């Protein structure tokens, strides 16, 4: 039966079993070294783990930054395309207005050529010239026709 640590004979019993003060001090220093070694191993492992996390974090930050830049470029191109389409629509609308003006002009002045011809025919000089040209053509036609 082992003696309990609180018993008065505990010191004697340690001496009897070979657990004297020097052995206890050696065991204590070895225990401290053992725990220090465990702590150092844990700290080294923790450092490697933290380095890995820092590396992944910096990679994630870079990828996010690159994605943001790409998104900004894409947004700028989309805005430019929208501006170009609006400008094109405005130009098409202005051209349509021009064509409407021409169409309205044609509604009011349906036959501009007939108007010009009527103006020419009202002038007596042109009437005389046209009558002379027609008479000459008829005369040439009659003279070149052989009589049967």
pLDDT tens digits, one per residue of 64-122: 998 888 888 999 999 999 999 999 988 888 877 776 766 666 666 666 677 777 777 78
Same domain for 128 and 75: no
- Rounded to whole angstroms, the Cα distance separating 89 from 93 reads 6
* Residues 9 and 3 sit within 8 Å (Cβ to Cβ): yes
Same domain for 61 and 123: no
Same domain for 72 and 27: yes
Number of domains in the chain: 2
In a domain? residue 101: no
Same domain for 132 and 89: no
Q: What's residue 146's pLDDT?
A: 63
- Confidence grade of residue 18 (pLDDT, cut at 50, 70, 90): low
In a domain? residue 122: yes
- Rounded to whole angstroms, the Cα distance separating 77 from 64 reads 20
Same domain for 35 and 91: yes
- Which residues of the chain form beta strands (DSSP E)? none
Range of the domain at 129: 109-139
Look over the chain and give the mean of its residue pLDDT values, rounded to a whole number.
77
In a domain? residue 40: yes
Same domain for 87 and 117: no
Q: What's residue 81's pLDDT?
A: 92
Q: What's residue 78's pLDDT?
A: 92
pTM over 0.95: no
Same domain for 80 and 27: yes
């Amino acid at each position: 039966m082992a003696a309990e640590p609180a018993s008065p004979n505990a010191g004697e019993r340690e001496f009897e079993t070979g657990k004297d003060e020097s052995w206890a001090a050696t065991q204590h220093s070895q225990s401290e070294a053992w725990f220090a070694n465990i702590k150092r191993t844990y700290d080294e492992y923790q450092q490697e783990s933290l380095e890995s996390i820092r590396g992944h974090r910096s990679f994630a930050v870079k990828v996010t930054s690159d994605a943001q830049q790409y998104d900004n470029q894409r947004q700028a191109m989309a805005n430019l395309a929208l501006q170009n389409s609006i400008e094109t629509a405005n130009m098409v609308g202005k051209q349509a207005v021009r064509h409407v003006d021409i169409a309205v002009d044609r509604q009011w002045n349906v036959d501009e050529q007939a108007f010009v011809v009527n103006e020419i025919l009202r002038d007596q000089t042109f009437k005389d010239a046209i009558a002379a040209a027609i008479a000459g053509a008829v005369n040439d036609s009659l003279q070149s026709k052989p009589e049967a």
